[in-house]
Amino acid sequence: MSDPLNPSNRLLSALDLGPSWARDAVPRPAARPSSQAQADGVAEVRAPRRNDRRSDGPRDGGRERSFSSRRDDRSPRDDSRGPRGNFRDRNMDDRPVHEVEIAPTPGVKIVVQPNADALHLIAKEVISVARVYSLFDIAKTLMSQRERFHGIFSLDESKAPLYFGHRDNSLWVTKEEAVQHFWTSDWRSDLYEEEEVEVEGPAGNFQVVAKCGLSGIVFGPPNYHAYQSTIRQVHREKFSHLPFDRYAAKIITERNEEAVQKWLHNMKTKLRWKPVGQEETLWLNERDEVEQHFLNNRFPEMYVAVHKVEIPANTSVKNFSPGLLVLFKNAARHAGNHPAIIIPTLCTLLEKEHLPVFKKQGKLFAGPSRPHPIADDTTFSDRLNQIVNWMRANPETKLNKLWKTVLPDGETDPSAEWLADLYWLLSQGHLLLFANDSLILPLRRKVEAPAPKGKSAEVANSNEPKPAKAPRKKKPRKRRKPLLLILGKRVADMTPLDRKKTRGFERTLVHRLRLKSQSKLRHEPADEFALEGIED
C-alpha cells in the first residue's frame, strides 16, 4: 500500500517509543565517592588506582604477563569489583540514568487510537486510486508514524485529576510537576519578563567546586550557603526519578583555581523576573517566589484538571510526567506490534468517511465500493464488454495480463479511455483491484438445493402431513449406592491387620450403617454382605 502521508509528515525523533524511558547518555564519574563524601553530598575526583610495583620493564625474562595471570595474582580484597555477593548492588549503583526503569503511573489507563485526519488522507487515496486495501495494512500504516495516532488517558473520577497544559499538550500527575515544567516551557516568556542584573559575588574562602556528574551543572563550593538547596533543586527538576542518595553519589568536585574563579564570575550576575501585564513594578528575585506567584495567579490559565484527555503521539517527551510517558510508550509499542487491536476503531472512522468495509476469505478490506457481481443480462459498451468477458474467463488475474490481452495490437500502455472504463468498473465494485495488482471478478454464490433421497423424498413430495414423532422415553435413572455401603464393603474387604490400623474407624462406620438401615435401607435393600463383613 502506498503511503500518502509521508510527504506531509515529519517524524519527531524526540519521542522514542522504546522499551524504557530514553534519555541521553551521561558520563560516569571517575571514581565512586567515599562514605564521608557521600554523607556530605560530594564525591571527590581521585586518580585511578595503580599498582605499587614500579614498571621499570617487563618481568619474567622480558615477557609481559597475560591478563589471566595478572587476574589470578590479585587477592579478593584488592579486587576493584568488590565481593561477588555485592555484585548486584554495585551494578544497580553504576547503571546509567537512561537504563533506570520507571514504573507506569498506577490507576491511569490509556487507549491508542488512530488520528482522524490521517485516516481521512488514506480514505481519499483509496477512492482516488480505486484499490482495495486490507484493514490490517491500513492499521500498520497508521501506527508507523507518530503523527497518525494519539493516546487517550483516563482515570477514575474518584481519584486525583491529571493536569493538562493546553498550550503544549503537556500532562502531569501533580501540581508540583506542572509548576516545574514552567521553567522549561516555551510559553514562560509570555508570562514573565526575565532580566539579568549584576550583584556582588559571594565572599569566602572557596577552594573546590562541585558539579553534577550527569548533566555538568555547577553547584558551587560545598561551604557555600546555597549549596544544598541548589542540589535539591536540580534533583527535583531533572532527576526526580532517581533516589536522592544515588544522585548525590554522582556529584564530583574540581580542585583548581580556574574552576573556582569561573564560578565566582558567574555568581556576579543574577536573574530576576517580572510578571507580564501588571502595572506595578514587581520584581521577583528568587525562583521560589516566581513559582509561588505562578501557582497563585497564572496556574489556572495554563493547566486544566482532567480525568480524561487526548494527547497526540508526536508530543515532546519533556511534556510528560515520567510515569505517564512510560505508560504511553508501552501502549504505543504494543499497538505497533499488534495493529489489529485498533481495527474496531478503524471501522468506525471509515464509516464516517463513507468508505465501505467488507470481508473476503475471513479478512476485512476497505475499498471504493462493496463487491457487486455483474448480472448475466447486463449490456456494456465495446471496451467494457471486452474487459468483462475476459475477466469472466479469468476471474483472478493480474492487471498487466489484462492489458496485454484486451489492448489493440501495437499498444502497450492503456489510453485514457481504457483507464476510465476500468476505473468505473472498480468504483462500482464490479471488479476488485488489490494493492498487489491482483484483479478479481466478484461472482454470485450458487445455492444448490439438496437432492432428496429414498423414502424421505416420497414423504417430501406427498401432500400428506408428516407423522408426529413419538415422544422419547426417558431412560430410568440408575440409583447409586449409598456412600456408607461402599465404605462398609471396603472395610469388610480389609485384612484384620489393616482393619486394626484404622483405629476404631470400622466401629463408627458400623454404628452409622445400623442407623441408616433402620430408615433408608428399609425401602432400598442393600447388599447384606457389607454389614456382615463389618460385623465379622
The top-scoring range by mean pLDDT among 77-86, 207-216, 340-349 is 340-349
Q: Which residue has the higher pLDDT, 181 or 23?
A: 181
Answer whether residue 79 is part of any domain.
no
CA angle 45, 51, 54 (to 5 degrees): 125
Assess whether 339 and 248 both reside in one domain. no
Assess whether 181 and 299 both reside in one domain. yes
Q: What is the pLDDT of residue 510?
A: 64
Answer whether residue 24 is part of any domain.
yes
> Which of 304, 329, 358 finishes a domain?
304
CB 40 within 8 A of CB 231: no
Assess whether 447 and 510 both reside in one domain. no
Answer whether residue 380 is part of any domain.
yes
| Confidence grade of residue 370 (pLDDT, cut at 50, 70, 90) | very high
Assess whether 14 and 153 both reside in one domain. yes
State the DSSP H helix or E strand holding residue 270, giving kind and residue range, or none if neither.
Answer: strand 269-275
Assess whether 8 and 155 both reside in one domain. yes
Cross-sheet strand order for the sheet of 432-433: 396-398, 438-440, 432-433
Give tens-digit pLDDT for 279-297.
Answer: 666 788 888 888 899 999 8
| Confidence grade of residue 529 (pLDDT, cut at 50, 70, 90) | very low
Report the C-alpha gap between 132 and 357 in whole angstroms: 10
Q: What is the pLDDT of residue 516?
A: 66
> Which of 342, 368, 394 finishes a domain?
368
Give percent helix, percent strand, percent coil of the chain, each to the nearest 5: 40, 15, 45
Domain count, the chain: 4
Neighbour-count burial for 325-355, b at 16+ CB within 10 Å, e otherwise:
bbbbbebbeebbeebeebbebbeebbeeeeb
Q: Average the pLDDT over each of 104-118, 204-218, 291-305, 410-424 and give the range with the smallest value.
A: 204-218
Assess whether 143 and 107 both reside in one domain. yes
Answer whether residue 53 is part of any domain.
no
The top-scoring range by mean pLDDT among 25-39, 176-190, 448-462, 468-482 is 176-190
Assess whether 380 and 498 both reside in one domain. no
Assess whether 14 and 146 both reside in one domain. yes
Non-local CB neighbours of 509 within 8 Å, separated by 6+ positions: 484, 487, 488, 491, 534
CB 231 within 8 A of CB 211: no
Answer whether residue 462 is part of any domain.
yes
| Confidence grade of residue 366 (pLDDT, cut at 50, 70, 90) | very high
Answering whether pTM is above 0.75, one says no
Assess whether 126 and 261 both reside in one domain. no
Q: Does 39 have pLDDT greater than 60? A: no
State the DSSP H helix or E strand holding residue 484, giving kind and residue range, or none if neither.
Answer: helix 483-492
Q: What is the pLDDT of residue 272?
A: 84
Answer whether residue 455 is part of any domain.
yes
The three three-digit cell numbers of residue 68, written as one number = 589471566
CB 187 within 8 A of CB 168: yes
Q: Does 60 have pLDDT greater than 70? A: no
Report the C-alpha gap between 245 and 251 in whole angstroms: 10
> Which of 468, 493, 517 finishes a domain?
468
Q: Does 62 have pLDDT greater than 50? A: no
144: left (phi over 0), alpha (psi -120 to 50) or beta: alpha
Answer whether residue 248 is part of any domain.
yes
Average pLDDT over residues 341-361: 92
Q: Does 230 have pLDDT greater than 80? A: yes
Q: What is the pLDDT of residue 250?
A: 86
Q: What is the pLDDT of residue 325?
A: 93
Answer whether residue 71 is part of any domain.
no
CA angle 269, 274, 279 (to 5 degrees): 145
Q: Which residue has the higher pLDDT, 8 or 180?
A: 180
Cα end-to-end span (Å), the chain: 88
Q: Does 315 have pLDDT greater than 70? A: yes
Range of the domain at 458: 372-468
Assess whether 345 and 439 both reside in one domain. no
Q: What is the pLDDT of residue 232?
A: 85
| Confidence grade of residue 134 (pLDDT, cut at 50, 70, 90) | very high
Average pLDDT over residues 72-100: 43
State the DSSP H helix or E strand holding residue 150, giving kind and residue range, or none if neither.
Answer: strand 149-154
Assess whether 183 and 275 both reside in one domain. yes
Distances (CA, A) of 410 to 56, 383, 404, 416, 448: 89, 16, 10, 16, 45
Q: Which residue has the higher pLDDT, 229 or 79?
A: 229
Q: In terms of Cα–Cα distance, which of 174, 182, 163, 211 is closest to 288?
A: 182
Give tens-digit pLDDT for 371-424.
Answer: 999 988 888 888 999 999 999 999 899 999 999 989 888 888 899 999 999 999
Assess whether 146 and 12 both reside in one domain. yes
What is the residue-averaged pLDDT of the chain? 76
